[in-house]
């Protein structure tokens, strides 16, 4: 059977000689108990990169809400804030109104294509380095190692009978986990409420029910998923493993056991020759350090989150037995096929069409989002024709239509506008509750900053000037400062 690291292709893995008759079939258990995983600590370049990414991401997550950005009086001064009650999203100097939520679609698209790009180049780098589940589980495992010791010590502790010391260690560990979970849940809230304010309210018991509830919820989820569930999330709960395989091809860099070099494997004593045997000494360190507890020598598999800690572990052992690094390494399937067949293998092909297609897509969407943001207007005008009644007949027989002029002022200053009528001629403009010298004179609106204002206006037309039951009426809105004017055409209805 040709050795290969492909995930799909079941028919290759099952040979028909192994068909079992009813008598031969074993009655397996319906449910499998959880197999506890005790990852061992490891050191090396991969581990250092993983720690760096973890520190950067966690620092960003916990510290970002505390960044300040002055926007002037009356507006929040937090740099990153999604203000649910105020219905605004603030990202540094950018302010997003609810009707501009489509920018989020652009961001999500960029995120998705970015993930596809990363996966097609580096395999499951998201899963192994940047996924929140991985990051917090890694952090929690580090705390566990700190309190309960490394792998062997933890396994011994779990087998021990419950004692004062054991209970103490377990309590300390879970308390530490709960504390970090609380900070994590609280930090989440701080993206939606002003951080200093909500922290003070939280500790003095003045934060609202919503804040306490969601902090509790997110803290509980962090503790459950990062502390208790751990690899179960990756294996059984997360959909990513199941379709990340579709995002990789034979040129993606994945964690690979070099089978051509490692087999046949076996124990090696100092001084033994390396002829006619593989470099793998079956030390099982790769299994010991794996956070999901798998054996990478079985090939690429769903549970492998591509963190590459087994690379460091194996290299450490290879150093000790004086063999070269790289028995487990980030490598491509294409190279493995060649090497396993005994041929020479070209270096990994990172630059390929796929890379450019994804980059192009990201750039196009990014350009679209940036252009949209840059060309946003700070003014939005809508003329809404009253639906009920469509028109009113007045005592002298003339017809009157009502309109609501809705103006969105997204700028920091209040703005003044003058409204006049263009067509039809003979129509008279009047307004309720706004400045107007007399019916027929221009109507003046003042819109406060960062607000939406709607004003009711009436257009009256003598019945003899009515040409049909639906005529065009043109409003001209001129801004006092700057003199820019906008023409808006609506319809003037009459009896049919």
Footprint on this chain of other proteins (rule: CB under 8 A): 1, 10-11, 13-16, 18-20, 25-26, 28-34, 232, 236, 298-299, 386-389, 392-397, 400, 402, 432-433, 456, 458
Question: CB 98: neighbour CB atoms within 10 A?
Answer: 8
342: exposed, middle or buried (Cβ count in 10 Å: 0-12, 13-18, 19+): exposed
Question: Measured from the CB atom, is 13 or 59 closer to other proteins?
Answer: 13
Q: Whole-number minimum distance, CB 394 to other proteins, in Å? A: 5
CB of 34 to other proteins, least distance (A): 6
Nearer to other proteins, 48 or 416 (CB): 416
Query: β-strands 379-385, 328-331: how paired?
Result: unpaired
Question: Are the C-beta atoms of residues 10 and 18 closer than 8 Å to each other?
Answer: no
What span, in angstroms and rounded, lies between the C-alpha atoms of 429 and 439? 6
d(CA 474, CA 427): 10
CB of 15 to other proteins, least distance (A): 6
Residue the block writes with tokens 């009436």: 458
Measured from the CB atom, is 17 or 70 closer to other proteins?
17
| CA-closest candidate to residue 330, choices 307, 352, 346, 351 | 307
92 or 432, CB closer to other proteins?
Answer: 432
CB 137 within 8 A of CB 163: no
Within a 10 A sphere around the Cβ of 81, how many other Cβ atoms? 25
Task: Note whether 429 and 455 are within 8 A (CB).
Answer: no
| CA 269, chain centre distance (Å) | 50
In the complex, minimum distance from the CB of residue 303 to other proteins, in angstroms, rounded to a whole number: 12
Query: What's the closest the beta carbon of residue 55 comes to other proteins, in angstroms?
Result: 31
How many angstroms separate the CA atoms of 425 and 466, rounded?
A: 10
Q: CB 382 → other proteins: shortest distance, Å? A: 18
**Smallest distance, other proteins to C-beta of residue 228, A:** 10
Using the minimum distance from each CB to other proteins, give the nearer residue, 51 or 236: 236
d(C-alpha 325, C-alpha 44), whole Å: 12
Pick the closer one to other proteins by CB: 16 or 377: 16
Cβ-based nearer residue to other proteins, 71 or 259? 259
């Amino acid at each position: 059977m040709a050795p290969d690291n492909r995930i799909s292709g079941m028919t290759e893995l099952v040979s028909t000689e192994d068909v079992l008759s009813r008598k031969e079939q074993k009655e397996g258990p319906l449910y499998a108990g959880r197999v506890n995983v005790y990852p061992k600590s490891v050191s090396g370049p991969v581990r250092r990169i993983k720690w760096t990414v973890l520190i950067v991401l966690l620092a960003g997550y916990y510290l970002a809400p505390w960044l300040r950005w002055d926007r002037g009086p009356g507006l929040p001064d937090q740099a990153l804030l999604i203000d649910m009650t105020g219905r605004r999203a603030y990202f540094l100097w950018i302010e997003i109104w609810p009707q501009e939520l489509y920018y989020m679609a652009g961001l999500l698209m960029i995120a998705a294509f970015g993930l596809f790009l990363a996966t097609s180049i580096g395999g499951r780098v998201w899963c192994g380095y940047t996924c929140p589940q991985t990051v917090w589980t890694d952090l929690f495992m580090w705390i566990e190692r700190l309190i309960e010791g490394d792998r062997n010590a933890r396994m011994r502790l779990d087998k021990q009978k419950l004692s004062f010391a054991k209970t103490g260690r377990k309590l300390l560990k879970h308390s530490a986990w709960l504390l970090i979970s609380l900070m994590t849940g609280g930090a989440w809230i701080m993206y939606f409420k002003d951080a200093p304010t909500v922290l003070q309210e939280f500790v003095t018991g003045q934060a609202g029910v919503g804040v306490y509830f969601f902090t509790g919820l997110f803290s509980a989820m962090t503790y459950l998923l990062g502390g208790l569930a751990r690899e179960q999330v990756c294996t059984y709960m997360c959909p990513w493993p199941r379709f990340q395989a579709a995002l990789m091809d034979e040129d993606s860099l994945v964690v690979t056991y070099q089978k051509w070099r490692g087999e046949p494997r076996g124990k090696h004593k100092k001084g033994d020759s390396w002829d006619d045997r593989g470099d793998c000494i079956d030390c099982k360190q790769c299994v010991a350090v794996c956070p999901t507890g798998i054996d990478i020598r079985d090939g690429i598999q769903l549970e492998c989150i591509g963190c590459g800690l087994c690379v460091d572990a194996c290299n450490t052992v290879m150093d000790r037995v004086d063999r070269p690094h790289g028995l487990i390494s980030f490598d491509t399937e294409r190279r493995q096929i060649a090497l396993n067949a005994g041929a020479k293998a070209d270096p990994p092909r990172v630059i390929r069409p796929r890379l450019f297609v994804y980059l192009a897509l990201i750039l196009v969407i990014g350009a679209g989002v940036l252009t949209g943001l840059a060309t946003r207007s700070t003014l939005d005008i809508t003329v809404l024709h009253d639906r009920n009644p469509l028109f009113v007949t007045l005592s002298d027989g003339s017809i009157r239509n009502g309109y609501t002029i809705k103006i969105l002022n997204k700028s920091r200053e209040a703005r003044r506008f003058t409204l006049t009528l263009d067509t039809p001629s003979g129509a008279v403009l009047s307004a309720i509750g706004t400045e107007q010298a007399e019916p027929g004179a221009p109507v003046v609106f003042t819109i406060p900053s960062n607000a939406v204002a709607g004003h009711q206006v009436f257009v009256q037309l003598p019945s003899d000037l009515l040409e049909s039951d639906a005529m065009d009426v043109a409003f001209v809105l001129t801004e006092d400062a700057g003199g820019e004017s906008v023409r808006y055409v609506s319809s003037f209805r009459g009896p049919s």
